[in-house]
């Protein structure tokens, strides 16, 4: 591992599987743009038309080569910031939504803290070096885990190449993803964002999927960010333990139900539950079932009747709902039962 700071988490639970200086404040470079893009998608409308200011157009560093007065859809600017790492696009997003970089950066820091990223603070939307613009590997993983729940963002960060257009002239603007791991055939990488400055070194936030399992890695100030990331994914997928909580639609329990044509009902989960832990943590895992004790017919199939909680020591690691896997009809009235039996 060549990175100064790194972390690997299970996307489903947020559980940390590997940590190296993960709480150390670091320069995040263009990985900053994940939060910029997320706010763009949450606060704006994708079809909003944004005019490019002179200030945005001449932002230094990686660029889409936008010109003052250009007009682009907000969604296309978000694509340009994430796929091509355009600093001009990130600045335009900040100006449109926050009025200026300073106010938008305050929104970024506020959003980060809402997500639990308490050790990070932002001073710009693109990640150019500012010694008060700091994030930790763990905070970046935490923000990315939340960001990947946004379907638009998740689609953008996995896009290899595309073309967007300036609205007035229709001028094409080609985008090409800076994340080389998207082209790796050995592992299914689903994003997320590169970053490089002299102060930050090589940075990479990545997410990868294998057999429905998703891991998020962050490496900061690395001399070989791609191999560092692949090393983390290899560790997570192949050396960590994947603990099965439940299998979708398989009965987990049968629980009592009153006033029904059957005395007990099968319950299970709507989705597979499989979480990653380090092998040494297995003995500290406890699974608890919490069931509504007063179930009464009628009960439709799919009714929420409780939940499974998985604890690692005293820490709640994961929970999922338990639902009925069959319909429970109410008992027939006494006279109906006699008639039916005869």
Active site residues: 30, 33, 85
**Residue with the two structure tokens 């595309």:** 162
Helices (H) and strands (E) in the chain, counts: 9, 16
Residue from 188, 181, 161, 160 nearest 224 by CA: 181
User: Cβ distance 124 to 32 under 8 Å?
Assistant: yes
| Helix pair 87-98, 74-83: axis angle to 10 deg | 140
Structure tokens at 14: 């947020």
Residue from 41, 33, 56, 47 nearest 105 by CA: 33
User: Cβ distance 320 to 271 under 8 Å?
Assistant: yes
Other Cβ atoms less than 10 A from the Cβ of 5: the count is 23
- What 3-state DSSP class applies to 35? helix
Distance CA 57, CA 163 (A): 19
User: Cβ distance 160 to 132 under 8 Å?
Assistant: no
Structure tokens at 141: 């993983």
User: Cβ distance 161 to 175 under 8 Å?
Assistant: yes
Distance CA 60, CA 42 (A): 26
Give whole-number Cα distances, 86 to 81, 170, 220, in Å. Answer: 5, 19, 20
The half-sphere exposure of 105 on its side-chain side, counting CA atoms within 13 A, is: 19
């Amino acid at each position: 591992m060549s990175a100064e700071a790194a972390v690997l988490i299970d996307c489903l639970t947020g559980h940390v599987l590997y940590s190296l200086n993960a709480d150390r404040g670091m320069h995040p470079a263009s990985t900053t743009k994940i939060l910029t893009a997320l706010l763009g998608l949450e606060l704006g409308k994708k079809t909003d038309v944004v005019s490019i200011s002179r200030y945005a157009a001449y932002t230094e560093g990686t660029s889409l080569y936008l010109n003052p007065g250009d007009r682009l859809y907000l969604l296309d600017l978000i694509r340009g910031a994430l796929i091509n790492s355009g600093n001009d696009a990130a600045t335009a997003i900040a100006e449109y939504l926050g009025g200026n970089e300073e106010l938008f950066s305050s929104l970024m820091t506020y959003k980060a803290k809402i997500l639990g990223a308490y050790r990070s603070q932002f001073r710009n939307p693109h990640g150019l070096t500012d010694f008060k613009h700091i994030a930790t590997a763990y905070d970046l993983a935490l923000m990315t885990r939340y960001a990947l729940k946004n379907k638009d963002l998740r689609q953008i960060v996995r896009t290899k190449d595309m073309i967007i257009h300036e609205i007035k002239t229709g001028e094409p603007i080609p985008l090409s993803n800076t994340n080389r791991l998207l082209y790796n055939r050995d592992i299914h990488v689903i994003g997320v964002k590169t970053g490089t400055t002299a102060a930050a070194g090589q940075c990479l936030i990545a997410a990868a999927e294998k057999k429905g399992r998703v891991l998020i890695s962050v490496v900061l100030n690395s001399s070989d960010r791609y191999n560092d990331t692949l090393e983390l994914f290899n560790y997570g997928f192949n050396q960590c333990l994947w603990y099965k909580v439940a299998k979708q639609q398989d009965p987990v329990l049968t629980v009592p139900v009153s006033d029904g044509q059957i005395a007990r009902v099968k319950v299970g989960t709507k989705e597979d539950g499989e979480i990653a832990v380090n092998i040494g943590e297995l003995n500290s895992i406890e699974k608890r079932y919490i069931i509504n004790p007063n179930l009464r017919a009628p009960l439709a199939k799919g009714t929420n009747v409780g939940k499974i909680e998985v604890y690692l020591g005293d820490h709640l690691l994961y929970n999922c709902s338990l639902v009925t896997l069959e319909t429970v009809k109410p008992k027939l009235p006494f006279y109906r039962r006699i008639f039916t039996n005869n």
